[in-house]
Amino acid sequence: MERVSLINRIKSAGIVGCGGAGFPTHVKVNTKAEIVIGNGAECEPLLRVDQQMMEKYSEKIVKGLEYVMSITGAKKGYIALKGKYKEAIKNLQIAIRNSSFTIEIFILGDYYPAGDEQDIVYEVTGRIVPEGGIPIMVGCVVDNVTTLYMIADAVIYNRNFISRPVTIGGAVKDPKTVWVRIGTSFKELIEYAGGVTEPDYVVIDGGPMMGNIVDENSVVKKTTSGILVLPRDLRFIQKKLRSDRVEVRNGKSTCDQCFECTITCYRNLLGHNLYPHKIMRTLFLEPESYSEESLLTMSFLCSQCGLCDLYSCPMDLSPRKVFRFIRQKLMEKGIKNPHKRSDLKVHPERDFRRVSIKRLIERLGIKKYDRPAPFVEEEYIPEKVRIPLNQHIGAHAVPKVKEGDSVKEGDLIAASPEEKLGANIHASISGRVTEVKDEYIEITGV
C-alpha cells in the first residue's frame, strides 16, 4: 500500500495514541523520520497491557512498526521494552527475524518513567529532544506498541478502532487484562473482575502515577490502558484528591527547599532548565508577578510524571499540581513557554538518580496489589456503550447519527471536523442509537 493510502487508512480507522494523551496517529506519522521507536516500556506500576500485547501479538506489532517506517521513510526501527519482559522479548525477536526491515529490540531498565517519549528517545538514540519539543525534532517518531497493533489491524483487516485491551487491577478479586469495547462502563468491568475488595475506594483511569481519579460510571476511551481500584486511605490517593489550589497554599507554608524534587526530576536529568525546588521557592509571588522572566515559566517543562509529589517530597507537597496551577495562570495571561534550548547535556548523575519500579511500588504502598492480571482471550462486549466524542487531543468529533438510528459495529458515528486536528469515532457495538449529546453517543444493543 502506498504512503498516502496508509495514512488515509489510519485516519479513517480513528487511530490515536494508546499510551498517552491520544494524539491522532495519522497526523503524527505523516512526517519524515530517521528512526521509529515502538514504545513498550509500560512504566506505570500495576498495568500489564503493553507487556501482554507484545507477548501475544508480536508479529502484528512488528508489522505496525513496518508500516510507520514505510510512511516516514525511516531506515531504522526499534522496539524498546524492559528486560524483565522475557516472553515478550523472545516472541518479538522471532517476529523481527521474519521482517525485511531493519528493526532491533532495545532493552530498558526497570525504572519510572521509562516510557516517557523524551526519555526513551535519549535511551535508544542518545539524542536529546529540545526543551518544549517533540521527538521528530531529533528525527524520531515514537508510537506505543498497542498503537502499532491498531495500525496493523486497520491496514491488514480494514478494522476500525472500536476496542482495546485494558488491565483491570488493584483492589479487585480477579485482576485481568481483557479486550474491551470503547464506551464500556468502568463499574461494569470492575464487577467483571470479581468486584471490589476494599470498603472505601477510588477508581483510577490509567496508572497510579499519572492516572486520574474518576467516577466509577466513567467509560473506556481509546486512551484507557488500565482501570485501577485502590483504597481511599492510601497516602498518595489522599494527595491526588487535594486540589491544585490547596497544594499551592500548602507549598507556600511548608516547602523547606530540601531539593529532593529536583534530584529525581528526569527532565532536569536530561538537561532541561527545570528545577522544581526553585519554582516552589517563588510561591510567595502574587499572580501579577508572573512573567516570562520569572522562574515560574519553568513549569511549562514539567511532564506531570508525578515523581516529585508521589515519591520525592518528604513534606507531603505536590510540586506537580503547583506547576499545573502556575502554568494555567501563565497561559491565562497569554504567556507561552519561553524555554526552547537545544544545546542540552545530560546530568552526570542521571543513571544513579533513577527511581526503580520496585522502590516506587513500596513508596506508594501498593505492593499487595502488584499481582498478575492474566490476559483473557474472550472479548468483553457490553449491552450498552456510551462513546465520548472527545477521547483524543484536538476537536470533538461531529456526530453523523441521530437518536433512533440503527448501527453496526465499526460504522462511522462521528467524524473529525474538516481542517481540524481530531479523530473519527465508530460504533463499538451493533444496536440502536439511544442518545446523542454534546459529549457522547449512546448505543444500546438489540
Tally Cβ neighbours within 10 Å of residue 385: 26
- Under the banding of pLDDT at 50, 70 and 90, the label for residue 21 is confident
Domains and CATH numbers, the chain: 3-157 (3.40.50.11540), 162-234+368-382 (3.10.20.600), 243-364 (no CATH), 383-446 (2.40.50.100)
- The helix (H) or strand (E) run that includes residue 71 is helix 58-72
User: Measured between alpha carbons, how far is 291 from 90 in angstroms, rounded to an integer?
Assistant: 52
Buried b (16+ CB within 10 A) or exposed e, 83-113: eebeebbebbeebbeeeebebebbebebbbb
Strands 440-444 and 431-436: antiparallel
Q: What pLDDT score does 283 carry?
A: 82
Whether residue 292 has pLDDT greater than 60: no
pTM above 0.85, yes or no: yes
Q: For 314-353, what is each residue's pLDDT tens digit? A: 999 999 999 999 999 889 989 899 999 999 999 999 999 9
